[in-house]
Chain A
Amino acid sequence: MELSSEGRPACSVLFEEPSQEVTGQGEAPGPDFWKDLHLEEVVAALVARRGQYDLEQFFRTPLVDPGAVRYRQEVARDLEDPATAECTRAFAEGMDRARSFLRGMGQIRDDFGGGHYRQAWFLDAADNYWSAVSRLHDGLASLAVRSRALLCFREYLSRYVRSEHFVSMGAEVRGLRDDLAAIHYALFIKGPRVTVAHYEGWPDYSTEIERTFRRFRQGEVRDFLADFRDQRDANHVQARVLERLARQHPGPFARLAAFYAGRDRLLDPTIVAFDREVQFYLSYLEFAGPLEQVGLSLCYPEICEAEMNDGRCQTHVEESFDIALAARLATEGTAAVTNDIALSGPERILVVTGPNSGGKTTFARMFGQVHFLASLGLPVPGRSARLSLADRIFTHFEREERLETLHGKLQDELIRVRGILERATNKSVIVMNESFASTTLADSRFIGTRVLEKVTAEGALCVYVTFVDELASLNKATVSMVAEVVPEDPEVRTFKLTRRPADGRAYAKALANKHGLTYTRVVAELTS
């Protein structure tokens, strides 16, 4: 009795057409991209502890169709409701347990305990599956679900749980569970000899010991309990105990055998597919949770249908941040500094200047990340965002780890940038960080100018981090962004970038009086 036809899921939460998995997707970017934008660690965190779902390909593959992005955004919005997410998470845990019992079943030897073992494992699988599905159904039924994907799935689920197959399974599982749980037996072990008997309510010896020594109790002491994991493996000694228990309690064991014989295919393909695909969203929302807790926002970007950044739909992101950095900072309870991106008119290139460690590279990463995450159909760092989907995102970062001659390094950089410029279109995003720094200032200025002129001509969106102030005012496409410091103490970076002309100020000087521990503040603190 299968409701899904021939193992093909009835609905998918990732693709509008469940078969679309192979079409409508862009090309997964190359290895440099993940490293440069620090997305490697983000993907690693997203798939961590979720190995069983094999999610990585979904996180690595961008969508190129705005409609496909919106389909996922709907699902993500639904799952942002904590009740919906919690309901789905509980379901996943139940499914996990069910699968582990099914796996374990296959490993039990035939001659163990007259099948009492295998049957019991099957019962546990069915029990976990039944409760997981029922709770998911009850949960979803009472929740305000709006996405096309979840509405489809909910509809499917409600037909499934009303089916006779599912209803009767639940009743049998519960009856058997109660029967087996009621069996409390005693073992008398002396040497190699074991006697199986009924338990007669004797007290726990450890409580008697505790009672004797209670008078010495001084407070909490550490515990000396060995950490025995629950026995999950079948063994032949327990098999012999089970044979005797089956004789002592014939009813429950006979019913268990009948249940096992009567049910074969347990898991429904549409439900299995949902279980896997929904993890794509859950892992991302879990990842984003700590960021929101420290006060950062994520939002659903409006995706431009028209040409990139043309007059009708201009790139605009408010209070965004580097998601990888923010995740690290959030573990310490601090929020990453946020920055805005706004392009208007002919502007296409953000030229970023300012002091060392002032947040320039972070800004560049943020720009690339926002575009990539948007193309996965997921919320992006920021309070609000309007973006175009990029056909490709290119990164060009300084490769410090390579021990090459200056000439070799610059040459390598130029080769890489040529490759980018050859492939980039007016729908591409290019992130360039400290490019061409391994040469004289005049050279840097010259090469930078040439490269940015080409980018301008192509019409790609670009971030260009540089020490060369002149590049910030190259042409009408460039916008100058400057990383700021605290005016009273130039040693302190704000990590804020503002839109203003590059001014090449020297920031190395420290000012005195930075402790700020003045007499007035001492008095203020005392009398407050």
Chain B
Amino acid sequence: MKAYLLHPDKDFDFRRDLPEGSDELSQDLGLDILCTEMGRGDRLVSEICKRALVFGSKDTATIGYRQRVLYDCLQHSGVVGELYDLAVEAVDAERQIWGLYNRSSPRAVLSRAVRVVETFVGYLRRLRRLSDEHADEFSSDGFARFFKMVSEELDDAYFAEVQDHLERLKFRGGMLISAGLGPGNTAKGFVLHLRPGRGWRERLAALRRSGDTFEVPTRDEAGLKILDEWELRSLNLVANAVAQSAEHIRSFFTVLETELAFYVGCINLRARLSELGGAVCVPEPLPPGEPAWSAEGLYDLVLVLRSGGRVVDNDMGADGKSLVVVTGANQGGKSTFLRSLGLAQLMMQAGMFVAASRFRAAVVTGVLSHFKREEDASLRGGKLDEELRRMSRIVRRISSGGLLLCNESFASTNEQEGSEIALELVRAMAEAGVKVVYVTHLFELANRLWSEDRDCALFLRAPRRSGAQPFKLVEGAPEPSAYGEDLYRRIFEEDAT
């Protein structure tokens, strides 16, 4: 019994630690805002969506698998919601069963485990009914497998078998135990058995006659305690087996709940974007190393979610390039573009739709970000130091085939030093097979890349803005001015009027 809704052949690992640097990435791209929106108040959904984004798949087949399951989910959001609620309820119901597993008492373990299994059986029956009613409506390979599994594994004969065990586990007719002689002729190796059917009663009677039966007097408390301990010892393995079975069923529901949470988040996000008029598309993931890297109508959906309205979208044609350099006007939409590109890459690899009219890219081994930290008000030297330290951590974490998003990196020192550091860094990344998108005001950096590395790089420029809305980025050579003067003048002259 495996949910397998995120991977065709394994569970989604939602327990592993978030990788180092994912906090920075979340902050830089606004992942928490996105995931909060996806959760709509359900923290599990937010949490799982974040993990799906941070631990994107590197396998195009898996991404395709999720895209198909997601298509089903968007078509049948009601049934998927019901399935999710059922899994959530089952997990909650277990939590509410009184008592903890007290490991020192197998009898207590057994008693709770039996109640838990009884409870889960109810939810399994409901799961079976849901599957019977709706299996036909789903078309993806993921859901087809899931529903087929439910109807095969949870048939009526199986429910009867489980019921039979639950009855026997009350041990109404006494306990049959085997043991051996341990050190010092003490009893060891207690094992519990089911009573054999045929002829057992007769054999028992014969043993009684030959004096092989004895009775511990009811006043002999110590003796009764020893018998009780023997029973406990022999119950140990059985109690463990039932409790572990209960745990397994619980983890089935937990995995189901978790994996559905991702799709519930996608359903929520799709609905919200529809309200806001944001278009989405199914992206086209390509195997690592493919030259594809292009987008049309790419926009920053976090900005849409925050502003609640339309934002500028951009096109990018960087097929065959390993570096995108973005320069140009202040508040010209450079960072927005950087974020939208990073988000699209993450969402594609999570198996989601992306905020664009078309997005086509090779999968990457990891996305890392190095954004200018505005809040750091420390000394100039100290700030470069902090930037370098952060970058050196990134260098240790990133690997060939990764994607690095740089936003104003090394702007904390003078243009020449910053450019020098950045230039060698960018070139080393290219050498190591890491894609870089670099938003920068460092004209010297951009200009040298333009004149010396133009073959492998795409140059985008934010044009000088004239109104409230920035223009789309355009391809072209970097310019020495970022029109900061414009901004200054606009703000001050507007104030003056």
- Docked CA distance A517–B194 (Å): 69
Binds A, one of B20-28, B222-230, B342-350: B222-230
Q: Which of A187-195, A288-296, A373-381, A386-394 participates in binding chain B?
A: A187-195
Q: Which residues of B contact A205 (CB under 8 A)?
A: 192-194, 237-238
Which residues of A sit under 8 angstroms from B245, Cβ to Cβ? 209-210, 212-213, 216
**B interface secondary structure, majority:** helix
Whether A186 and B176, one on each chain, are in contact in the complex, defined by CB atoms closer than 8 angstroms, is yes
**Cβ–Cβ contact B183 & A232, under 8 A:** yes
Q: With A and B bound together, what is the CA distance between A224 and B237 in angstroms?
A: 9
| B186:A232 contact, CB within 8 angstroms | yes
Q: Smallest CB-CB separation from A122: which chain B residue?
A: B184
Find A216's partner among B165, B203, B249, B396 (CB 8 Å cutoff).
B249
Given contacts A121-B183, A224-B103, 15 further A-B contacts (CB under 8 A): A124-B183, A189-B231, A203-B194, A208-B165, A210-B241, A213-B241, A221-B247, A223-B240, A224-B244, A226-B239, A232-B184, A232-B186, A519-B424, A527-B428, A527-B432
Q: Are A194 and B215 in contact (CB under 8 A)?
A: yes
Complex-state Cα separation, A40 to B443, whole angstroms: 67
One of B279-287, B307-315, B386-394, B452-460 contacting the partner: B386-394
The answer to whether A206 touches B238, judged by C-beta atoms less than 8 angstroms apart, is: yes
Nearest-CB residue, chain A, relative to B214: A240
Nearest-Cβ distance from residue A252 to partner chain B, whole angstroms: 9
| Contact across chains for B224 and A192 when beta carbons are under 8 A apart | yes
Give Cα A120–Cα B188 distance, bound, in whole angstroms.
Answer: 14
Least distance between A191 CB and chain B CB atoms (Å):
8
Q: Give the top 7 A-B pairs by smallest Cβ distance, nearest first.
A: A190-B174, A213-B245, A120-B185, A202-B193, A206-B237, A216-B248, A206-B241
Contact-residue size bin, chain A (C-beta under 8 Å from the other chain): 35 or more
**13 residue pairs A–B, Cβ–Cβ below 8 Å:** A104-B184, A194-B215, A205-B192, A208-B194, A215-B1, A228-B232, A232-B186, A238-B187, A241-B187, A242-B185, A517-B388, A519-B425, A523-B424
Check A519–B421 contact: CB distance below 8 A.
yes
B76 in contact (CB, < 8 A): no
A167 adjacent to chain B (CB < 8 Å):
no
Residues A183 and B238 in contact, CB atoms below 8 Å apart: no
CB of A222 within 8 A of CB of B184, answer no
Q: Bound state CA distance, A226 and B240, in angstroms?
A: 9
B202 within 8 A of A: no
Residue A116 lies at the interface, judged by CB distance under 8 Å to chain B: yes
- Is there contact, CB below 8 Å, between B188 and A209? no
Min Cβ gap A368→B in Å is 44
A31 cross-chain contacts in B, Cβ below 8 A: none
Within 8 A of B (CB), among A196-234: 196-197, 199-200, 202-210, 212-213, 215-219, 221-228, 230-234
The closest CB in chain B to the CB of A184 belongs to: B180
Contact residue among A184, A216, A222, A237 (Cβ-Cβ distance under 8 Å from B252): A216
Please report which residues of chain A, range 225-262, place their CB below 8 angstroms from some CB of chain B when the two chains form the complex.
225-228, 230-238, 240-242, 244-245, 247-248
Known interface pairs A192-B216, A204-B191. Does A523 touch B428 (Cβ–Cβ under 8 Å)? yes
Chain B CB within 10 Å — which of A210, A212, A231 has the most? A231
B176 and A188 contact, CB distance less than 8 A? yes
Give Cα A207–Cα B192 distance, bound, in whole angstroms.
10
Q: Is the CB of B213 within 8 A of A193?
A: yes
How many Å lie between the Cα of A247 and that of B223 in the bound state? 22
Please name all residues of chain A whose beta carbon is closer than 8 Å to the beta carbon of B193 when the two chains form the complex: 186, 202-205
Residue B196, interface by CB 8 Å:
yes
Say whether A522 contacts B388, CB under 8 Å.
yes
- List the B side residues contacting A217 at CB < 8 Å: 248
A199/B178 contact (C-beta < 8 A), A189-B230, A192-B216, A226-B104 known: yes
Are B203 and A197 closer than 8 Å at their CB atoms? yes
With A218-B11, A228-B233, A241-B187 as known contacts, state yes or no: A522 contacts B213, CB within 8 Å: no
| Docked pose: A222 CA to B214 CA in angstroms | 39
Judge if B212 is at the interface, Cβ distance under 8 Å.
Answer: yes
Interfacial residues of chain A within 95-129, with CB under 8 A of chain B in the complex:
101, 104, 113, 116-117, 119-121, 124
Residues of chain B within 8 A of A119, CB atoms compared: 185
CB distance from B148 to the nearest CB of A (A): 14
Is the beta-carbon distance between A231 and B424 smaller than 8 angstroms? no
Instruction: Tell me if B19 counts as interface (CB < 8 A to partner A).
Output: no
Q: Does B449 contact A (CB under 8 A)?
A: no
The minimal Cβ–Cβ distance linking B175 to chain A, given in whole angstroms, is 5
> Which A residues touch B105, using CB under 8 A?
226
In contact, A195 and B208 (Cβ under 8 angstroms) = yes
A233 to B177: give the CA distance in the assembly, Å.
20
Confirm or deny: A180 has a beta carbon within 8 angstroms of a beta carbon on chain B: yes
| Of A188, A216, A224, the contact of B1 (CB 8 Å cutoff) | A216
Say whether, besides A124-B184, A224-B244, A522-B425, A202 and B176 are in contact (CB < 8 Å). yes
CA–CA, A377 and B216, complex, Å: 61
Q: With A and B bound together, what is the CA distance between A197 and B428 in angstroms?
A: 79
Per the bound structure, the CA–CA distance linking A91 and B416 in Å amounts to 74
**B348 CB, nearest partner CB in chain A, Å:** 26
**Category for how many chain B residues contact A:** 35 or more
**Nearest chain B CB to A55's CB is how many angstroms away?**
28
Distance in angstroms from B207 CB to nearest chain A CB is: 5
- Smallest CB–CB gap between A183 and chain B, Å? 5
Chain A residues with CB below 8 A from B18, complex form: none
User: Within the complex, what minimum Cβ distance (angstroms) separates A202 from chain B?
Assistant: 4
**Which residues of A are found within 8 Å of B238, using beta-carbon distances?**
205-206, 209
Interface residues of A (CB under 8 A from B): 101, 104, 113, 116-117, 119-121, 124, 180-181, 183-197, 199-200, 202-210, 212-213, 215-219, 221-228, 230-238, 240-242, 244-245, 247-248, 515, 517-519, 521-523, 525-527
Measured in the bound complex, the distance between the Cα atoms of B176 and A223 in whole Å is: 24
Question: Residue B211 at the A interface, CB < 8 A?
Answer: yes
A47 CB to closest chain B CB, in angstroms? 28
A238 vs B396: C-alpha distance in the bound complex, in angstroms?
Answer: 64
Instruction: Give the residue name and chain of the B residue nearest to A239 (CB).
Output: B185
Partner of B226, one of A121, A216, A230, A238: A238
Give the chain B neighbours of A241 by CB distance below 8 A: 187
Shortest Cβ distance from B182 into A: residue: A230
Instruction: Flag if B178 contacts A184 (CB, 8 Å).
Output: yes
Measured between beta carbons, the chain A residues less than 8 angstroms from B180 are: 181, 183-185
Write out the residue numbers on chain A whose beta carbons fall within 8 Å of the beta carbon of B192.
204-206
- Across the interface, name the chain B residue whose C-beta is closest to A528: B432
A residues in contact with B103, CB < 8 Å: 224-227
Tell whether A212 pairs with B162 under 8 Å between CB atoms, given A181-B180, A236-B223, A515-B389.
yes
Knowing A224-B103, A238-B226, A525-B392 are in contact, say whether A189-B177 is a contact too (CB < 8 A). Answer: yes
Q: How far is the CB of A131 from chain B (nearest CB, A)?
A: 14
Q: Given that A192-B227, A221-B251 are known contacts, is A238 also in contact with B240, CB under 8 Å in the complex?
A: no
Q: Are A526 and B428 in contact (CB under 8 A)?
A: yes
Residues facing A in B282-328 (CB within 8 A) are none
Q: Are A231 and B187 in contact (CB under 8 A)?
A: yes
Given contacts A210-B241, A216-B249, A517-B388, contact A235 B432 (CB under 8 A): no
**What residues of chain B lie closer than 8 Å to A242, measured between beta carbons?**
185
Q: A185 touching B179 by the CB < 8 A rule?
A: yes
On whether A180 and B181 interact (CB within 8 A), knowing A189-B231, A225-B236, the answer reads yes
Q: Are A189 and B425 in contact (CB under 8 A)?
A: no
CB 8 Å contact bits of B141-162 with A (1 = contact, 0 = none): 0000000000001000000011
Which of A196, A236, A238, A240 has the most chain B CB atoms closer than 10 A to its own CB?
A238
Name, among A205, A235, A238, A525, the residue most crowded by chain B CB atoms within 10 Å (CB to CB).
Answer: A205
- In the assembled complex, how far is the CB of residue B210 from the closest CB belonging to chain A, in whole angstroms? 9
Which listed residue, A185, A187, A191, A221, touches B248 by the CB 8 Å rule?
A221
- Bound-state CA distance A11–B124 (Å) is 74
Interfacial chain A residues near B231, Cβ < 8 Å: 189
Say yes or no: A192-B217 contact (C-beta < 8 A), given A205-B192, A224-B109. Answer: yes
| Structural contact, B227 and A194, CB atoms closer than 8 A | yes
| B-chain residues with CB within 8 Å of residue A207 when the two chains form the complex | 241
* In the complex, chain A residues whose CB is within 8 Å of the CB of B106: 224, 226
User: 1/0 per residue B46-64: CB within 8 Å of A?
Assistant: 0000000000000000000
A522 to B428, CA, bound (A): 9
